[in-house]
Each structure stands twice: as C-alpha cells, then as structure tokens.
C-alpha cells in the first residue's frame, strides 16, 4: 500500500494555471457562466469550460442547468470544494501580499 505525496494529490486536483482562480471566485457563492467569464477575461472560453468540466468531474464544483430559455447555468462549490477554503484564502492572501511588496519596491 502506497502513501502518496499529499502535495501531488493537491496539485493534480486543484493545480493548473487557472483552477485556483475559478474556485476562489466561487467561494462567495454560486456564479453564472457569464459572470465567471467576465471576471476572468484573460482565459479563453475553451479553457474556462474545460476547467469547469474538470473541476466538476473532480467533485469540487456543481453545475446547475436551469433549463430556461435563454439558458441559465450556474456553478457552485460542492462540500468537497468548500474544504479548499483555507487553501484558496491562503493563496490569495499570499498573492496579494506579494503584489504589494512588489509595488513597494517600485517606489509606491
């Protein structure tokens, strides 16, 4: 029986360039596809939808199609996804701190 590296589990599930950003945004509650899209304009549609599917397959987010016309779909964190809260919060805080530190060095 193998004891895998816990970091591997983590990076393989929530790693990838954009996944933390998506999950982080969903922490505040459900968001519609378009909201996510507008919130991260630097990701192409294809990549966004792919990450959403992957995260859904990993059981971290839940996709709800309201079956209306016009279409309305929202995404939310599952319970498993919620457990990522501490990780996402820590990452975002670190990123914010690093960006502030960088701004300082530039003479702000």
Partner DNA sequence: CTGTATCCCAAATGATACTG
Partner DNA sequence: CAGTATCATTTGGGATACAG
Residues in contact with DNA by the rule CB under 7 A: 16-18, 32-35, 37, 42-47, 49-51, 63, 65, 70-74
**Smallest distance from the beta carbon of 7 to DNA, in angstroms?**
12
CB 76 within 8 A of CB 27: no
- Put residue 72 in one of left, alpha, beta given phi > 0 → left and psi -120 to 50 → alpha: beta
Sorted by sequence, the CB contacts under 8 Å of residue 62 that are 6+ apart come out as 56, 75, 76, 77, 78, 81
Of 47 and 87, nearer to a copy of itself (C-beta) is 87
Contact between 82 and a copy of itself by CB under 8 A: the answer reads no
**Smallest distance from the beta carbon of 64 to a copy of itself, in angstroms?**
24
**Smallest distance from the beta carbon of 45 to a copy of itself, in angstroms?**
18
DSSP three-state, residue 77: strand
The residues binding a copy of itself (CB under 8 A) are 4-13, 15, 17-18, 20-21, 24, 40, 42, 80, 83-84, 86-88, 90-99
């Amino acid at each position: 029986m193998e004891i895998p590296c816990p970091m591997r589990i983590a990076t393989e599930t929530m790693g990838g360039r954009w996944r933390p950003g998506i999950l982080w945004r969903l922490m505040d509650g459900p968001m519609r596809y378009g909201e996510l899209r507008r919130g991260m304009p630097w990701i192409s549609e294809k990549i966004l939808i792919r990450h959403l599917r992957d995260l859904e397959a990993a059981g971290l987010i839940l996709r709800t199609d309201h079956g209306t016309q016009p279409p309305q779909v929202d995404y939310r964190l599952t319970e498993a996804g919620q457990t990522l809260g501490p990780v996402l919060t820590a990452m975002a805080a670190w990123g914010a701190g690093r960006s502030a530190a960088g701004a300082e060095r530039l003479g702000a």
